[in-house]
Amino acid sequence: MSQARLKYAVAMVLVLSVGGAALAARRPAAPKADAGPPPSANAVMVSEAMDRFAFNLYGRLQGQPGNLFFSPESISTALAMAWCGARGQTAAEMEGVLGFQPDRPVRPEWVSQAYGDFLAYLKGGGAARGYELSAANAIWAQKGYGVLPDYLALLDKNFGAGLKEVDFAGDAEGARKAVNAWAEKETREKIKDLLLPGAVQPATRVILTNAIYFKGKWTEPFKKDQTKDADFFLAPDKKVSAPLMNLTERFPYFDGGAFQALEMPYAGDALAMVILLPREKDGLAALEKSLTAAKFAEWTAKLVRREVVVAVPKFKMTSTFMLGGTLAAMGMPLAFQACNADFTGITGGKEPFWIGEVIHKAFVDVNEEGTEAAAATAIMMLGAAMPAAPPPVFRADHPFVFLIRDKRSGCILFVGRVVNPKE
């Protein structure tokens, strides 16, 4: 069988500039020899917070038409780096949006250590895994600006975000190109031109960057000669012709009545794609309405390996989001208010900082060879066992939700939906 490959790349950028003024219990997966060290309690805590953030954000985005795709892990990590410099009510609002539990102590030192443990877990501790997964962070600061040493030390120790001094004021274009080159390198050239001309201004003072990359193989690859053109139903009375990949194999599967859940693992069995397929051809909206972190954990805990007749479309999509208004509506409005945002943990309060906009762009391509995906985000901060029976048929010939998750920690790395595989 041909080896199907998976490539994921995500970049996250936070641009800061100044101017005039408890989940349901998760089913533990059997560890594999190449899976690396198991997640610590801190890593599981962070992954659970990320999952709450993932489904809350998805709930805000699902109302827009068409396909969508984003990386909650990358957005959450970048926001956490910004949160480490937030104070007062600004920090409290961000804590809620990031999914931190209100009954747990929340301090920059403790949270950054927890994220450090989570990022170390993702990197695998040097284990020879059956896939490649890497994450990187950096902080870019105006030469001589004087970001607080404690903040720099916190990001360096726990996020691995080393300081890179640039000249935003004298050479904004050069600084933009340096950030773009870093993002391109860390995502194996999958994210190019992350910041468009004009995105970096002479008033920019700090940029925080995050990137995540994944490459692996399906454990059960599709064969190209089994891909056939078939109807994909956009609605019960509307369809397009799309290539559907076909495979009959044993996969973790759950029949949820109104929907089916299928898990397609990658080499090493540590990461997998989960597809949630409504039974009705117009059932996506109802499925999305029921999606929560707790429900998803409940459903994945019920997955049982059995033979399944699978048909999944090849698809390619690009999604772009302006998330500032969405995140403010989710519960962190102060961070976007010029006169009220408090990020004094970054600068000591010498000039006000606030978030002007959060931009996220993601790309995914699924075919017989596997999956390739990339995403980039810019947070612009401004100043001023079954009985014998026929195998179930999992025919994804109508809109569905898909997620890429780490099975042991439960962390959702990527989430999206396919409404039209031909868009």
Mean of pLDDT values over 51-71: 93
Residue at 75 is within a domain: yes
Is the same domain home to 259 and 178? no
Q: Give the pLDDT confidence score for residue 266 in this predicted structure.
A: 83
> Are 141 and 40 part of one and the same domain?
yes
Bridge partners (DSSP) listed for residue 418: 400
Range of the domain at 231: 224-315+386-418
Residues 157 and 233 in one domain: no
State the CATH number of the domain containing residue 211.
3.30.497.10
Greater confidence (125 vs 390) lies with 390
Q: Strands 315-322 and 238-255: what pairing?
A: unpaired
What is the share, in percent, of the chain residues with pLDDT greater than 70?
84
Residue 401 has pLDDT above 90, yes or no: yes
Q: Let me know whether 80 and 18 are in one domain.
A: yes
pLDDT beyond 80 at 140: yes
Specify the amino acid at residue 166: V
Domain count, the chain: 2
Co-location of 367 and 399 in the same domain: no
Token digits for 396? Answer: 């994804």
pLDDT at 307 over 90: yes
- Specify whether 278 is located in the same domain as 303: yes
Is there a single domain that holds both residue 194 and residue 244?
Answer: no
Can you give the pLDDT at residue 100?
Answer: 87
Tens of pLDDT along 369-399? 666 666 766 665 555 444 457 889 989 999 9
- As a whole number, mean pLDDT of residues 305-327 equals 88
Average pLDDT, the chain: 83
Give the mean model confidence (pLDDT) for residues 128-144.
Answer: 83
The reply to whether 111 and 213 lie within a common domain is yes
Q: The dihedral of CA 26, 27, 32, 38: what is its sign?
A: positive
Residues 93-119, mean pLDDT to the nearest whole number: 84
> How confident is the model over 210-259, as pLDDT tens digits?
887 877 778 888 999 999 999 999 999 999 999 999 999 999 999 999 99
Q: What is the pLDDT of residue 23?
A: 29
pLDDT top residue among 303 and 370: 303
**C-alpha torsion angle, residues 338, 340, 345, 348 (rounded to 10):** 80
- Whether residue 212 is found in the same domain as residue 279: no
Cβ atoms of residues 368 and 5 within 8 Å? no
Position 14 pLDDT exceeds 70: no
CATH number assigned to the domain comprising residue 256:
2.30.39.10
Rounded to two decimals, the pTM is 0.86
Would the pLDDT of 169 be above 80? yes
Residue 159 shares a structural domain with residue 300: no
* Percent of the chain predicted with pLDDT > 90: 45
Please report which confidence band the pLDDT of residue 126 belongs to, taking 50, 70 and 90 as the band edges.
low
Residues 237, 250, single domain; the answer is: yes
Query: Is residue 311, in this structure, part of any structural domain at all?
Result: yes
Looking at the domain assignment, is residue 423 inside a domain?
Answer: no
42 torsion bin: left (phi>0), alpha (psi -120 to 50), beta (else): alpha
One domain for residues 78 and 19: yes
